[in-house]
Amino acid sequence: MDYKITTKNEYETIEVAQNLETEKFPNMVICLSGELGSGKTMFAKGFGDAMGVKEEITSPTFSIVKEYEGELALYHMDVYRLDGELAGIDLNEYLAKGGVTIIEWADTIKESLPKERLDIDIKIIDENKRVLVLKPHGEKYVDLCEGVL
């Protein structure tokens, strides 16, 4: 089952991320997709801020992975430049470290994603409005969506 949330501005997108963060758990995986400028990094910032990350969260486009310290470790990935190939990145290692992994452009590496995860597709409606389509994979993620939304 998919869950849809419409946000009217970036602050509401951040609020959705913060609400999901309240139910975080070790080895949680959130896979973000959407057009350039849809709010993927804004979502990651909101989630990280709620986790207590003190550093400014920026897009890891050129570094591919940025690690942040918070209540749990946050692994923020941007796999756009990898062209669907994970050469040089051991995704499974990050997924097993006990932190939260947020992957931007996750749709480009679908075959490599874990079976259990939360997919969030962010659709641009207009300059400010977005529709977030959440698709949970696995019971933990269904419970997460049911408990928060």
Which CATH number fits the domain that encloses residue 48? 3.40.50.300
Q: Are strands 117-124 and 130-137 parallel, antiparallel or unpaired?
A: antiparallel
Residue 53 lies in a domain: yes
Residue 1 lies in a domain: no
Distance CA 54, CA 147 (A): 27
**Assigned domain for 103 exists:** yes
Residue entry with tokens 């997108």? 13
In a domain, 143, yes or no: no
Domain that holds residue 107: 25-130
Q: How many domains does the chain have?
A: 1
Q: By percentage, how much of the chain surpasses pLDDT 90?
A: 82
- Would 9 be classed as within a structural domain? no
With a pLDDT cut of 70, the percent of the chain lying above it is 96
How, if at all, do strands 3-7 and 130-137 pair? antiparallel
Residue 145: inside a domain: no
| Contact in structure between 2 and 74 (CB atoms under 8 Å) | no
Number of Cα atoms under 13 Å in the Cβ half of residue 139: 0
User: Per the domain annotation, does 10 fall within a domain?
Assistant: no
Give the pLDDT band (50/70/90) at residue 62: confident
Q: Is residue 126 part of a domain?
A: yes
- What is the pTM (predicted TM-score) of this model? 0.95
